[in-house]
Structures are given as structure tokens and as C-alpha cells.
Amino acid sequence: MIQVKNISKSFSGVEILNDISFVFEKGKTNLIIGKSGSGKSVLTKCIVGLLEPDIGGVFYDDIKFSSLKSHDKKKVRKQIGMLFQGSALFDSLSVEENVAFPLRMFTKMTEDEIFERVNFCLKRVNILNKNSLYPSEISGGMQKRVAIARAISMKPKYLFCDEPNSGLDPVTAIVIDELIQELTKEYEMTTIVITHDMNSVLEIGENILFIDGGVKKWEGSKDEILDVKVKELYDFVYVSKFLQKMKK
């Protein structure tokens, strides 16, 4: 479980996040949704410690992460897997080396054990016979799946996915969404997905936080979101004419 309490963050006097509190539950796909520029990525960066919140705190289970020293933060970070918007695979490393990277860096596993774990993770995300290829030699959807394989290679307790299906076709996007949800259940992880894709919301949104203009406007689940009365969220959900017709 990850909890954020009263988080506020400003840049050069401009308030990006204002007093956000939320509980991201274990074993569920927790979604942070909102329009572009609403503060989703800043909130995520505050949670993973890439940014320091001005006010408030981030708790990983019972540990107040935001007030830990750099050395102690590293211990928590080893339990975090993250899928970045652009995959963020290391260009100079092959698919296999990318997935093996955290294992080589942080474990005392032998090369055979690493090889076995890498192949297991790649097989789990349905990437076969691509071990020696470089990120630039595989498609965007494959890059996302390799990045997921890298994120789960250390068996993390927390998984972050920043717009996991941006730039992907609808079919591949659903495959990625389903994969994230399956892995969340399989490893009992606390998964946080940042998205503005309504298909993802309706597919995997078990626990949803909606933010608008840096303020928390709504929380609930995918079953409740279609009957929502909050204007900002209603406008966000029913932005397409198709959904508006369906609603009528």
C-alpha cells in the first residue's frame, strides 16, 4: 500500500499540486487520471522520490518515504518497478541486458540464474527470441513489454506505469493493460498507472484518483465512473461523441 497525505508542490511560485491525499491499495491497479498538465506526472514523481513535495508526505506501507535519507530511499526504491512513458530502455544495452540490468546491479545471482530469470520475465510478457536485439530494433509495443519485464525482474512490491499505452494501437494498448492487471494480481503488487486513456480506465481501473488543475476532484472505481456527477470528470469521461450517445 502507498499513501500520499496532503501533498502540495509548486514550481517557481506556480502551484502544480494542491493538498492531495489518497491511498493506493495493494493487489489493485490504482489509476491516476486527468487531463494533460493536470499534475499526474508531478504527483508520480513525488511518490517515487524524483521530486520532493513542498508539503505533505508519501508513505510506503508504514515507512514515510519522503523524509528518508538518500541511502534509505535507495532500499525502498529497490522494491519499485517503473514503466516510463517512452519505455526508457537503455539504448546501449540489448533486450536481455536491459532486463538483466537491475539483477546484475543489485543481486548476487550467478550469470546462469540471471539468464534464467531474464528469460522467465521476457516469456511472461510474451517476448520470445528477441534477447539479442537492441531497443531501436523492436517495435514500440515490444519496447513497453520489455520495460515491463525489466520492471518486474526484481519482483517489486510497487509498480508504476506512466501512460503505458501512449503511442500504441488500440489492440496493443489493451494487451499492455491486461498484462499490467495480470501481473498486479500475480505478484500482489501495489500498481499505480498514470493515464488519460478512457479505454484503460474502463478496462483496469479498480481504484481511481481523478485530479484536475492539481486538485483531487474525485475517487472511485471503473464501475462508478460512468455515473459520475462531478462536472470536470464528466467532461473528461464523456469527451467523445460516441460515449455521449451511449450515455443518452
Rounded to a whole number of angstroms, the minimum distance from the CB of residue 76 to another protein is: 8
Q: Cell triple for residue 32?
A: 491516476
Q: Which is nearer to another protein, 53 or 205 (CB)?
A: 53
Rounded to a whole number of angstroms, the minimum distance from the CB of residue 48 to another protein is: 5
Rounded to a whole number of angstroms, the minimum distance from the CB of residue 248 to another protein is: 41
Q: Note whether 147 and 83 are within 8 A (CB).
A: yes
Q: Which residues bind another protein (CB under 8 A)?
A: 48-50, 73-75, 77-78, 80, 82, 84-86, 88-91, 101-102, 104-106, 160
Report how far residue 104's alpha carbon sits from residue 111's, in angstroms, rounded to the nearest whole number: 8
Q: Which is nearer to another protein, 88 or 138 (CB)?
A: 88
Q: Which is nearer to another protein, 86 or 170 (CB)?
A: 86
Rounded to a whole number of angstroms, the minimum distance from the CB of residue 246 to another protein is: 36
Q: Which is nearer to another protein, 50 or 55 (CB)?
A: 50
* Helix (DSSP H) and strand (DSSP E) numbers for the chain: 10, 10
Give 163's contacts (C-beta < 8 A, 6+ positions apart). 85, 194, 195, 196, 197
Give 176's contacts (C-beta < 8 A, 6+ positions apart). 141, 144, 145, 148, 164, 165, 168
